[in-house]
């Protein structure tokens, strides 16, 4: 008779997911100046888009000031309070700059994303958006801070009529628009093969979510996805500046 033996399986440690991304911004077909600014991170952890508002180049200045603050985010900082604080500091700086230079109102809508421990932390103000694609399904992570979104939420406007409404560009929050800024933050755990998309409203005003989903899913690398999204926007008329960032999650 042989003695029973118990063998414990050798568990290999799971590799940490890897993040790679790219960004692209374009003036569009009808604007003379690109007032969008983007932040791309070679490490794949920190990303941002700011969409400037204000004539005579002041929107470009405001979006640059948002991105300047975004670059100060440390990879290991507490995500939600840090992202919120950077946007609020940008809000104070833009207000002060506009007041000192007698520019009138200027500002920017913005979306920032910091990836920590395979979790995407997203902060935003305005109608820049963040999406997560998983297994072919595109999910909107953010909620627009716009008059039209409030009308949709209250049942006063059908979702299908959003992009045709005359107030579709009116935002209810923006960095630099008021002395205090409320910043929303959401967190989304990530798994291998996920894809993340950040964009300005120049993209979503031209392309339906279904079209965006098809392009994001079909791409073989982030740079290609960005180029294909911008190309499709230009083909659709691109009346505004358009900015996109795409991040792939791999490994694990």
- Which domains, and CATH codes, for the chain? 18-251 (3.60.40.10)
Amino acid 78: pLDDT: 97
Give dist(CA 229, CA 181) in Å, integer: 30
Q: What is the pLDDT of residue 163?
A: 67
- Please give the chain's pLDDT, 252 residues, in tens: 455 555 555 555 556 789 999 999 999 999 999 999 999 998 899 999 999 997 667 999 999 999 999 999 999 999 999 999 999 999 999 999 999 988 888 999 999 999 999 999 999 999 999 999 999 999 999 999 998 878 877 777 776 666 667 667 789 999 999 999 999 999 999 999 999 999 999 999 999 999 999 999 999 999 999 999 999 999 999 999 999 999 999 985
State the pTM of this model.
Answer: 0.91
Q: What is the DSSP letter of 200?
A: -
Q: Supply the pLDDT for residue 4.
A: 56
Going by C-alpha positions, the residue among 140, 101, 126 that lies closest to residue 36 is 126
Other CB atoms within 10 A of residue 185 CB: 18
Residues in the chain: 252
Shortest CA distance to 51 belongs to which of 147, 165, 145, 133?
145
């Amino acid at each position: 008779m042989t003695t029973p033996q118990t063998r414990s399986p050798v568990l290999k440690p799971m590799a940490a997911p890897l993040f790679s991304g790219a960004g692209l911004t374009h003036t569009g077909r009808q604007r003379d100046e690109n007032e969008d600014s983007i932040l791309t991170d070679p490490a794949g952890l920190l990303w941002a888009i700011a969409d400037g508002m204000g004539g005579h180049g002041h929107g470009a200045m405001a979006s640059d000031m948002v991105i300047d603050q975004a670059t100060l985010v440390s990879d290991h900082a507490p995500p939600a309070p840090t992202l919120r604080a950077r946007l609020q500091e940008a809000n104070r700086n833009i207000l002060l700059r506009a007041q000192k230079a007698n520019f009138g109102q200027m500002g920017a809508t913005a979306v920032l994303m910091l990836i920590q421990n395979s979790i995407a932390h997203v902060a935003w103000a305005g109608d820049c958006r963040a999406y997560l694609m998983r297994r072919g399904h595109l999910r909107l992570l953010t909620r627009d801070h716009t008059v039209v979104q409030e009308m949709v939420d209250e049942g006063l406007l059908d979702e299908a009529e959003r992009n045709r409404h005359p107030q579709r560009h009116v935002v209810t929050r923006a960095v630099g628009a008021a002395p205090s800024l409320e910043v929303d933050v959401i967190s989304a755990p990530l798994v291998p093969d996920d894809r993340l998309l950040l964009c300005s409203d120049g993209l979503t005003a031209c392309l339906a979510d279904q079209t965006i989903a098809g392009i994001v899913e079909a791409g073989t690398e982030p740079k290609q996805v960005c180029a294909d999204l911008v190309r499709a926007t230009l083909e659709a008329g691109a009346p505004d500046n358009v900015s996109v960032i795409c991040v792939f999650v791999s490994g694990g």
